[in-house]
Structure formats: C-alpha cells, structure tokens
Amino acid sequence: MTGPVGFVGLGAIGAPMARRLLEWPGGLHVYDVAPKPLAEFARAGATVAASVADLAAAASVVCVMVRDDEQVRDVLDEILGSVADGLVVAIHSTVAPDTPAQLAKRAAERGVTVIDAPVSGSTIGAAAGTLAIMVGGSAEGFAAAEPVLATMGTRVVHAGPIGAGTRMKLARNLVHFVSFTAVAEAQRLAEAAGIDLVDLGAVVRHTDAITGGPGAIMHRDSTAQLLPGDPWTGIFEHVRTLGEKDLGLAVELADSLGVETPLARYALTHLGRALSLPEDTP
C-alpha cells in the first residue's frame, strides 16, 4: 500500500508519529484543530487538510491519535460523512475496550475498515520510530495498514480481532502504572532509610536494562498452574524464594522506619500464586 496517508491529531505523541510518515511515497495529509503543528508540517512538506472530511477523501489509510473516546467518535463521524469504500482507519488512541468494535460496526456499513492500533513507547519511541503497535482487526485491515504502521514502530503485533489491540494495550499499561506505584512505595522506604533517590533510580534503570524488568517473567503462553515437570516451575520457584526473602526483609525495614508498604505486603503474600506455582510449593 503506497497510497496517501492521512494523520489526525498532532499532539505530543501524534506529531512525532506523523513525522515518520513525511517521506511516505504516496504523500502525507495532516489535520489538527491547533494551527501551530499544521504550520510546522506544511513547512516539512505535508499537505494540510482543511477538515477531517477532506483528509479522509484524499487518503487510503487514516491514522487517528486524539485524546479520548469522544474525540475518536467525532473524527470517525466526519470521516464517514465523506469517504468511499476501501478506506482503512487506524485508531491509535487508547479507548474503552468496547469502543473499537462499536466503531468498526458503524464504519463497515459505509465500506470503511476500522482497526484499533494503540501504541506503547511514549514520545521517545514515537520520535525514533521504535514504537510497539498493538493491532486489533481483520487480517485484511491489518495487511493494508501494516506498511504504514511499520514506518512508525519496530514491533507491530496483530493481537487478534477488533478490540484486541486495545485490550493488549490496557494489560501492558497495567504493568506500567502498577510498577510506578511500586516505585513510589520503594522511594518512600529508601528516603526514610537515608538512601539517595537519584542513585536508586540509576540502579533500577541499569539493572532493568540487563534483566528486562517486569517483562522478564512474561514468556509463558498461559497463566495456568505450573506442574512439577514444567521447565518454568524450577525457575519460578527460585524467583519466589528470592522474592519472599527480599520482600520480607523490605517489610521488616519498613516496619522499623514506620513506612507503609501495602504493595510489598501484598506481593509477599501473593507472589507464589501470581507466579502460578502450586500452593504447597516451598
């Protein structure tokens, strides 16, 4: 697919994503409600559309990166008011789990294919073109959009039918923000213990780069309880042994300093179950 690409939403992540498409063979058409990014893209060689409808009429694939469900629905309404059969619309915004299927059903009545394609990697990945893009939709929709998506990301995953990309993104971000909450808890403990928080952060980033961080245990294709002969059983038993020892010591330190550590206490109690180990595993 080398036809024109349209991009709606030139915000903090949308703009660097769209910049990756400036050299797209079929040309890039852009639209945003703010004039400043449109002027910047015009200087860079993109075609500035007068409206979402005009952009959709000129494009073969339209990428949408706006703020929320309401804005996504508004953009799709404008698209469906102007397009012919065959357009593919990739929704990059993170929306509610059921929104992609609702939008896809409406769009299909007009011959338009909607895929949900949320991204992970923040502004850094968007600028570098190294985003992870998680796609839900038909095989045909994915195939049509994949060359465009691959220009903006280095890991483009067809997660399943419509909505699967959004569900994968929500699961991925659960890891992200629960980890942030744990970091805040660890920082409070470290601060109370007289530890330099900047040094602690440097150590965490250094070792996560080596071990893979939370993703290091995400290689199984199931969360079913592990059996004695499973190769992962021994590995996770070792993880549990070390984890319970260190979490226990951290809770003990927190108690001595009067610091509340609810996540550490929860993890200490539930680590084995979280790792899918049998309840009687030592």
pLDDT for res 83: 78
Q: Which CATH superfamily is domain 219-274 in?
A: N-(1-d-carboxylethyl)-l-norvaline Dehydrogenase; domain 2 (1.10.1040.10)
pLDDT for res 280: 60
Q: What is the DSSP letter of 24?
A: -
Architecture of domain 5-167: 3-Layer(aba) Sandwich (3.40)
pLDDT for res 168: 98
Rounded to whole angstroms, the Cα distance separating 97 from 162 reads 10
pLDDT for res 147: 97
Put simply, whether the predicted model's pTM sits higher than 0.85 gets the answer: yes
pLDDT for res 2: 79
Token pair recorded at residue 243: 């984890």
Token pair recorded at residue 242: 């070390």
Mean pLDDT by 10-residue block, N- to C-terminus, for the chain (282 residues)?
Answer: 92 98 97 97 98 96 97 97 88 97 96 97 97 98 98 98 98 96 98 98 97 95 94 95 97 98 97 89 50
Ranges of each domain in the chain: 5-167, 219-274
Based on the residue annotation, tell me whether 169 is a catalytic residue of this protein: yes
pLDDT for res 1: 65
Q: Which amino acid is at 210?
A: I
The catalytic residue among 36, 105, 169, 245 is 169
pLDDT for res 103: 97
* Residue 94 CB neighbour total at 10 angstroms: 20
